[in-house]
């Protein structure tokens, strides 16, 4: 038995789990966690409360109408203009960024990285453990917010969610975690390639704001170049729109918005352009959860894939770095 | 394991970063119960050598063996057996000293029933038992260095590698640190490899020294050996006397060279004349106020090796 196999044999808890546990505990006790939970909580309460007030007015007519509970999350009221879903879509990246931007360069600037990698662990245990801890704390935050909002909804509307509504809510939580995972992976990548935590935070926040605020503008511009609109040809306009939609799906924000809208609104049956002739004689009906899931499966897989790819790049860069760099 | 078993061996180790040669074919042997010092200015390749021994960076060529294992092939096994304190060691500032050590112990899979006793022992050993439950953020530089030693010891290693253990701590702290390091080797029988650019400290505690200049070991041996080898039949002294260089030359004869000014003179004479030096100065009626033997002084050794390297370059 060589030394290495003997060592793996006696190992009780994998090193990445030891690191993840410590990081998770750090996050849980940090001011960051409290602050972000309060921000997300307030936003969630505000949107759901205002949606509930509006829904209550129409509730008498809507008695017995299915899907009322989920509308809490999808209805954008006149006062706030954004639904819970959209607010989370806009704000959630900050969660991923907050738990990732100083993952590696924070250890470097504290001088703990050389000490950490000189312990009997593989170097990837460090980045894996930190990513798992980040996903864990993000998951915890999302679950707390979702449970709180659902509870408030039950209290305000007096409507108890059905089984399938609960399933949709759970699947939305998973989609939201995958979405935040993309940002967590990106922030982790930034923390690997930049020396200072401040730089890494600026880069990730910058990318987030540009995508969130100017994203649609940029995609419109690029689509105009790729498939220009010819005023004489209505089909060129259609092509232009299709290009715009395809391009915008490069952004995780779009993927999340589409996935969460479909998962929480059973009546939405497509995320693409619908022409009038396609709607002709269509029967208004609700999709089953399976059908909704099928509709946005590509979006969900896309978000998970983006997380994996970005994390893999961060991982490779980290493995190739000199300890002292 | 006998006291002379080599625990660290390096043969023709080379590390290149692109075109730049950081370490250029060094040989080292460190045995149990011995303090070995890597001495050299910053950027001479000391830390790179240490990282290669730990398997944290791969040598471009050459071999290293630590406890008989190859760091490139068995980095985990090596890191399990070697305690390492990096240069400018850092800790998690919000965690207490004890919590920081617990984390290291968990990563090293120290058996649960031993962890607390071991941590307490080593904290006492480095004199931090009273501050053990304070956050490291409140620690001074010297306390961090001492905690660094405790951290390296938590896995109870046969080999301890300390990178600049005395850099930037106060004189009192240095004395305590040196005592601590000496105990690790001489009392506990561990092999200790340390790097430093501070001559006097290295001279004080190291059994053997390797002088590093731009990636090469230019000399290796005990402090006394290094002095003798350099001298090549010549001995150097510093004479403090209110006199002129001409009178000194006259008194010491044609073989002597005299340098210096303002009553401080460095003289080089053939070694066999060393014993009669003082008598001859007195006979020539030179008012000697002081006489210093420069031959076993590391400062002097260091200076001369650098001069030689610069001439070559």
Return the pLDDT at B223: 76
- Provide the 3-class DSSP secondary structure of residue A186: helix
End-to-end CA distance of chain B: 43
ipTM of the prediction: 0.84
| A282 found inside a domain | no
Residue A253 has pLDDT above 90, yes or no: yes
CB contact under 8 A, A115 and B57: no
Is B120 an interface residue toward A (CB < 8 Å)?
A: no
Contact flag A120-B151 (C-beta cutoff 8 Å): no
A228 to chain B, closest Cα gap in Å: 49
Q: Which residues pair with B31 in a beta bridge?
A: B6
Q: What per-residue confidence (pLDDT) applies to A300?
A: 96
User: Does A139 score more than 90 pLDDT?
Assistant: yes
CA–CA separation, A106 and B225 (whole Å): 45
Q: Is any Cβ of chain B less than 8 angstroms from the Cβ of A25? A: no
Within chain B, where are the H helices?
46-53, 75-81, 97-107, 112-125, 141-153, 171-186, 199-205, 223-231, 245-252, 277-283, 298-312
State whether residue A162 sits within 8 Å of chain B by CB: no
Q: Does B74 touch chain A (CB under 8 A)?
A: yes
Q: Which residues on B lie below 8 Å from A118 (Cβ)?
A: 54, 56, 79, 82, 84, 86
CA angle A33, A36, A40 (to 5 degrees): 135
Tens of pLDDT, residue by residue over A277-318, are 777 777 777 888 998 999 999 999 999 999 999 999 999 999
| Residue A196 resides in a domain | yes
Considering only CB atoms, A118 lies closest to which of B84, B93, B106, namely B84
Q: Is A225 inside any structural domain?
A: no
Collapsing DSSP states into helix, strand and coil, what is residue A118? coil
Q: What is the pLDDT of residue B2?
A: 46
Angle between the N-to-C axes of helices B171-186 and B141-153, in degrees from 0 to 180, rounded to the nearest 10? 10
Q: How far apart are CA B267 and CA B286, in angstroms?
A: 14
Average pLDDT value for residue range A171-177: 95
B57/A15 CB distance under 8 A: no
Taking contacts as CB-CB distances below 8 angstroms, the residues of chain B near A115 are 84-86, 89-91, 104, 148, 151
Q: How many CB atoms lie within 10 A of CB B112?
A: 10
- Domain boundaries for CATH 3.30.70.980 within chain B: 230-312
Give chain A's mean pLDDT: 88
pLDDT of residue A1: 44
Distances (CA, A) of B286 to A83, B242, B244, B290, B295: 98, 8, 9, 11, 22
pLDDT, one tens digit per residue, over A52-90 is 888 877 766 655 566 678 888 888 887 778 888 888 888
Please indicate, yes or no, if residue A6 is contained in any of the structural domains.
no
> Domain B230-312, what fold?
Alpha-Beta Plaits (3.30.70)
Among the partner-chain residues B76, B87, B92, the one whose CB lies closest to the CB of A7 is B76
Q: Do B107 and A2 lie within an 8 Å CB cutoff?
A: no
For B20, phi and psi rounded to 5 degrees? Answer: -80, 130
Residues from chain A that touch B76, judged by Cβ atoms under 8 A, are: 4, 7, 120-122
pLDDT at position A142: 94
Whether residues A4 and B74 touch (CB distance < 8 A) is answered with yes
What are the chain A neighbours of B87 within 8 Å (beta carbons)?
A: 114
Where in the sequence of chain B do the CATH 3.40.50.300 domains occur? 6-221
Domain hosting A18: range is 14-212+297-320
Q: Which pairing describes strands B191-196 and B35-39: parallel, antiparallel, or unpaired? A: parallel
In A, minimum Cα distance to B160 occurs at A118
Residue A128 has pLDDT above 90, yes or no: yes
Task: Report CB contact under 8 Å: B56, A323.
Answer: yes
Rounded Cα–Cα distance for residues B40 and B24 (Å): 14
User: Does A160 reside within a domain?
Assistant: yes
**Which residues in chain A have their CB less than 8 angstroms from residue B56's CB?**
114, 117-118, 323
Contact (CB<8Å) B77/A12: no
Fold assignment, B6-221: Rossmann fold (3.40.50)
Partner residues linked to B241 by β-bridges:
B288
The answer to whether A111 contacts B86, with C-beta atoms less than 8 Å apart, is yes
* pLDDT for the residue numbered B231: 64
Is the pLDDT higher at B187 or at A270? B187
Q: How many domains does chain A have?
A: 1
Is the minimum CB–CB distance between B107 and chain A shorter than 8 Å? Answer: yes
Q: Among residues 143-162 of chain B, which lie with CB inside 8 Å of chain A?
A: 148, 151, 155
A239: which 2 tokens?
A: 């092509």
According to the model, what pLDDT value does residue B298 have?
A: 61
B80, A120: Cβ pair inside 8 Å? yes
Give average pLDDT by consecutive 10-residue segment, chain B, 313 residues.
72 90 91 92 87 91 92 91 92 95 94 92 93 94 92 94 87 87 93 88 87 85 75 78 84 82 84 81 86 70 67 52
Please tell me which residue of chain A has the smallest CA distance to B74.
A4
Measured in angstroms, the CA of A185 and the nearest CA of chain B are apart by 23
Q: Which residue has the tokens 């090293």?
A: B108
N-to-C CA span, chain A: 36
Q: Rounded CA gap, B263 and B288, in Å?
A: 10
Nearest alpha-carbon partner for B79 in A251, A141, A4, A19: A4
Strand partners, B161: B84, B193
Domain assignment present for residue A43? The answer is yes
């Amino acid at each position: 038995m060589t030394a290495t196999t003997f060592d793996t044999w006696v190992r009780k808890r994998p090193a990445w789990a030891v690191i993840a546990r410590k990081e998770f505990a750090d996050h849980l006790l940090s001011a960051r966690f409290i602050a972000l939970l309060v921000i997300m909580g307030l936003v969630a309460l505000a949107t759901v409360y205002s949606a509930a007030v509006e829904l209550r007015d129409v509730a008498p007519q809507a008695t017995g109408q299915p899907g009322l509970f989920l509308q809490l999350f999808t209805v954008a009221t006149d006062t706030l203009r954004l639904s819970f879903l959209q607010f989370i879509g806009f704000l959630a990246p900050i969660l991923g960024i907050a738990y990732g931007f100083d993952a590696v360069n924070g250890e470097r600037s504290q001088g703990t990285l050389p000490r950490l990698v000189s312990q009997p662990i593989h170097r990837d245990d460090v980045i894996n453990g930190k990513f798992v801890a980040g996903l864990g704390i993000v998951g915890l935050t999302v679950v707390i917010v979702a449970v709180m909002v659902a509870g408030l909804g039950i209290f305000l509307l007096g409507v108890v969610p059905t089984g399938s509504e609960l399933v949709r809510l759970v699947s939305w939580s998973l989609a939201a975690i995958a979405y935040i995972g993309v940002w967590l992976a990106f922030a982790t990548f930034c923390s690997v390639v930049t020396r200072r935590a401040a730089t890494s935070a600026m880069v990730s926040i910058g990318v987030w704001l540009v995508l969130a605020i100017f994203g649609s503008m940029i995609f419109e511009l690029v689509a105009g170049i790729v498939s220009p609109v010819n005023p004489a040809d209505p089909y060129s306009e259609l092509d232009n729109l299709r290009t715009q939609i395809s391009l915008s799906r490069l952004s995780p924000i779009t993927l999340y918005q589409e996935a969460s809208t479909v998962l929480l609104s059973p009546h939405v049956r497509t995320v693409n352009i619908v022409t009038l002739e396609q709607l002709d004689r269509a029967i208004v009906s609700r999709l089953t959860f399976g059908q909704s899931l099928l509709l946005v499966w590509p979006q969900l897989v896309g978000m998970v894939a983006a997380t994996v790819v970005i994390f893999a790049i961060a991982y490779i860069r980290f493995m190739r770095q000199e300890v002292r760099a | 394991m006998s006291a002379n078993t080599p625990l660290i061996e390096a043969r023709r180790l080379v590390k290149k970063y692109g075109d730049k040669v950081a370490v250029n074919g060094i040989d080292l042997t460190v045995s149990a119960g011995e303090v070995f010092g890597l001495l050299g200015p910053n950027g001479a390749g000391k830390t790179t050598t240490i990282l290669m021994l730990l398997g944290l960076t791969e040598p471009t060529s050459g071999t290293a063996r630590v406890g008989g294992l190859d760091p490139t092939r068995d980095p985990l096994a090596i890191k399990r057996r070697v305690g390492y304190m990096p240069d400018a060691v850092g800790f998690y500032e919000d965690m207490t000293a004890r919590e920081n050590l617990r984390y290291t112990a968990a990563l090293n899979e120290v058996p649960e029933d031993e962890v607390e006793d071991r941590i307490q022992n080593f904290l006492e050993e480095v004199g931090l038992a009273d501050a053990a439950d304070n956050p490291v953020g409140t620690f001074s530089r010297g306390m961090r260095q001492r905690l660094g030693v405790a951290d390296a010891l938590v896995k109870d290693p046969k080999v301890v590698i300390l990178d600049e253990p005395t850099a930037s701590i106060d004189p009192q702290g240095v004395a305590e640190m040196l005592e601590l390091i000496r105990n690790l080797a001489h009392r506990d029988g561990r092999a200790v490899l340390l790097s430093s650019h501070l001559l006097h400290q290295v001279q004080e505690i190291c059994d053997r020294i390797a002088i590093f200049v731009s990636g090469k070991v230019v000399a290796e041996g005990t402090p006394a050996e290094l002095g003798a080898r350099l001298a090549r039949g010549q001995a150097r002294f510093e004479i403090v006397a209110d006199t002129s260089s001409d009178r000194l030359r006259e008194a010491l004869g044609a073989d002597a060279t005299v340098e210096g000014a303002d009553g401080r003179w460095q003289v080089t004479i053939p070694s066999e004349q060393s014993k009669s030096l003082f008598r001859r100065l007195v006979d020539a009626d030179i008012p000697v106020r002081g006489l210093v033997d420069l031959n076993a002084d590391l400062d002097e050794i260091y200076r001369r090796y650098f001069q030689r390297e610069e001439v070559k370059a």
